[in-house]
């Protein structure tokens, strides 16, 4: 646990993320929950504590600079809760929805929300295509679908003036080319994640009639 705590602290420092000690302890508690429920719910292929910190916690927190002014966020295809739960811990003021069609995964998410005391999080078990009525100004996902599919099947959830923040690995040249005509690419940033030796990119997209 001490090694994980030190690694988390160093990672947060490198990323210029200032979290309180209770928030850091919540993140570490979330890692323990992931490990505890993993065999039952198949939440992550990672078994090494350090890998979970880098690939799941720190990687998820790369979203923070892109949601500074967000009023509501939905994590589509949340799975084991990444990036939604680490973000919700870091931003207790931000309403976060975790959406997944797999009821086993959402059972875990609900349990994590209760045990971590995350009053700003709602868990939704549904296919994204069936979601109507709610809207969010940031729609995010991590390795959920190709950009074209991601944008197309979530467009009814987009609030006016909102944007998609897709977390990707290597630069998605071909996916960007296949984006639908009614959206525009805002920016693609290469991300640096401490202790993670793999490419990461943040892709921001918005509707052309966003004004």
Is 72 annotated as ligand-binding?
A: no
Calculate the alpha carbon distances from 53 to 7, 9, 14, 23, 109 in Å: 8, 10, 14, 14, 18
CB atoms within 10 A of CB 173: 8
Length of the chain: 211
The verdict on whether residue 82 carries a ligand-binding annotation is yes
Q: What is the rounded distance in angstroms from the CA atom of residue 161 to the CA atom of residue 192?
A: 28
Nearest to 154 by CA among 112, 99, 203: 99
Q: Is 128 annotated as a binding residue?
A: yes
What sign has the CA pseudo-torsion 55, 190, 172, 96?
Answer: positive
Map residue 76 onto helix, strand or coil. Answer: strand
Rg (CA), the chain: 16
Known binding-site residue numbers? 77, 82, 128-129, 142
Binding residues for S-adenosyl-L-methionine: 77, 82, 128-129, 142
């Amino acid at each position: 646990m001490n090694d994980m705590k030190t690694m988390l602290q160093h990672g947060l420092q490198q990323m210029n993320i200032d979290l309180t000690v209770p928030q850091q302890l919540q993140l570490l508690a979330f890692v323990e929950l992931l490990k505890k429920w993993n065999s039952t719910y198949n939440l992550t292929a990672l078994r090494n504590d350090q890998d979970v910190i880098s690939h799941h916690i720190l990687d998820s927190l790369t979203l923070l600079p892109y949601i500074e002014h967000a009023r509501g966020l939905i994590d589509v295809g949340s799975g084991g809760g990444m990036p939604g739960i680490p973000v919700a811990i870091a931003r207790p003021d931000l309403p976060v929805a975790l959406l997944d069609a797999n009821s086993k995964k959402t059972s875990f998410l609900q349990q994590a929300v209760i045990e971590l005391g995350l009053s700003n999080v709602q868990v939704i078990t549904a296919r994204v295509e069936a979601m109507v009525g709610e809207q969010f100004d940031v729609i995010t996902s991590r390795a959920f679908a190709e950009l074209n599919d991601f944008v197309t099947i979530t467009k009814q959830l987009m609030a006016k003036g909102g944007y998609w923040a897709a977390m990707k690995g290597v630069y998605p040249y071909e996916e960007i080319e296949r984006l639908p005509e009614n959206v525009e690419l805002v920016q693609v940033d290469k991300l640096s994640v401490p202790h993670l030796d793999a490419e990461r990119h943040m892709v921001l997209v918005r509707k052309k009639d966003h004004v």
